[in-house]
Chains A and B, each alone.
Chain A
Amino acid sequence: MTVNPHTESKTPRQHWMSVLARASLKDLEQAIASLGPMPAYDVMKPAETGTIMLEGRAGGAGRRFNIGEATMTRCVVRLKDGTMGFSYALGRDKRKAQLAALLDGMLQLPTHAAILHNSVIGPLAEQQASKKIDVSRKAAATKVDFFTLVRGDG
Chain B
Amino acid sequence: MYVAVKGGEAAILATHDLIAEERRGDPSIPELSVAQIREQMALSVARVMNEGSLYDRDLGALALKQAQGDVIEAAFLMRAYRTTLPRFGSSVPLDTAAMAIRRRISATYKDLPGGQVLGPTYDYTHRLFDFALMADLGSEPEAQVAVSPLDNTMPRVPDILGDEGLMEAESPPADDPRPFDLTRDPIEFPADRDVRLQTMARGDEGFLLGLAYSVQRGFGSNHPFAGEIRLGEVSVDFIPEELGFAIDLGDVTLTECQMVNQFQGGKDIPPQFTRGYGLAFGHSERKAMSMAIIDRSLKARSFGEAAEYPAQQEEFVLYHCDNVEAAGFVEHLKLPHYVDFQGELELLRKIRREQEERAAQAAQLEAAE
Is the pair A58, B117 in contact by a Cβ cutoff of 8 Å? no
Residues of B within 8 A of A (CB): 49-50, 53-56, 58-59, 82, 85-98, 100-103, 110-111, 115-120, 143-150, 156, 158-159, 170-173, 176-182, 192-195, 197-198, 201-202, 235-240, 242-252, 256, 258, 275, 277, 279, 281, 295
With a cutoff of 8 Å between Cβ atoms, the chain A residues found around residue B147 in the complex are 137
Is the pair A143, B194 in contact by a Cβ cutoff of 8 Å? no
Give the contact stretch, choosing among A2-10, A30-38, A106-114.
Answer: A2-10
Interface secondary structure of A, over-half rule: mixed
From A56, A69, A133, A138, B82 is in contact (CB under 8 Å) with: A69
**With A and B bound together, what is the CA distance between A1 and B50 in angstroms?**
33
From A10, A18, A62, A68, B50 is in contact (CB under 8 Å) with: A68
CB-CB under 8 A for A52 and B238, given A60-B256, A143-B117: yes
Report the number of A-B residue pairs with Cβ-Cβ less than 8 Å.
Answer: 256
Most buried by A among B88, B90, B110, B275: B88
CB-CB under 8 A for A143 and B115, given A68-B54, A135-B102: yes
With a cutoff of 8 Å between Cβ atoms, the chain A residues found around residue B117 in the complex are 139-140, 142-144
Most buried by A among B56, B96, B202: B56
**With A and B bound together, what is the CA distance between A61 and B163 in angstroms?**
13
The 4 A-B pairs with the shortest beta carbon distances in the complex, nearest first, are A59-B170, A136-B149, A140-B146, A70-B55
State whether the Cβ of A72 lies closer than 8 Å to any Cβ in chain B: yes
Most buried by B among A54, A63, A136, A142: A54
Q: What total of chain A residues lie within 8 Å of the partner, measured CB to CB?
A: 61
CB-CB under 8 A for A141 and B146, given A5-B246, A65-B179: yes
Is the pair A52, B87 in contact by a Cβ cutoff of 8 Å? yes
Interface contacts beyond A56-B94, A60-B97, A70-B236: sample of 15 additional A-B pairs, CB < 8 Å, sorted by A: A17-B248, A52-B238, A53-B181, A58-B277, A61-B159, A63-B177, A64-B177, A66-B194, A71-B85, A72-B238, A86-B247, A90-B251, A137-B148, A139-B102, A147-B111
Residue of B nearest to A138 (CB): B143
Residue of B nearest to A142 (CB): B118
Chain A 108-152 near chain B by CB (<8 Å), digits 1 or 0 = 000000000000000000000000111111111111111100000
Is the pair A90, B249 in contact by a Cβ cutoff of 8 Å? yes
Is the pair A71, B54 in contact by a Cβ cutoff of 8 Å? yes
From residue B53, how far is it (CB to closest CB) to chain A in Å?
Answer: 4
Is the pair B94, A54 in contact by a Cβ cutoff of 8 Å? yes
From residue A3, how far is it (CB to closest CB) to chain B in Å?
Answer: 5
Residues of A within 8 A of B (CB): 1-6, 10-11, 14, 17-18, 21-22, 48-72, 74, 86, 88-92, 132-147
From A63, A90, A145, B173 is in contact (CB under 8 Å) with: A63
Is the pair A61, B170 in contact by a Cβ cutoff of 8 Å? yes
With a cutoff of 8 Å between Cβ atoms, the chain B residues found around residue A139 in the complex are 101-103, 117, 119, 149-150
Residue of B nearest to A49 (CB): B85
CB-CB under 8 A for A143 and B116, given A54-B91, A63-B179: yes
Is the pair B173, A21 in contact by a Cβ cutoff of 8 Å? no
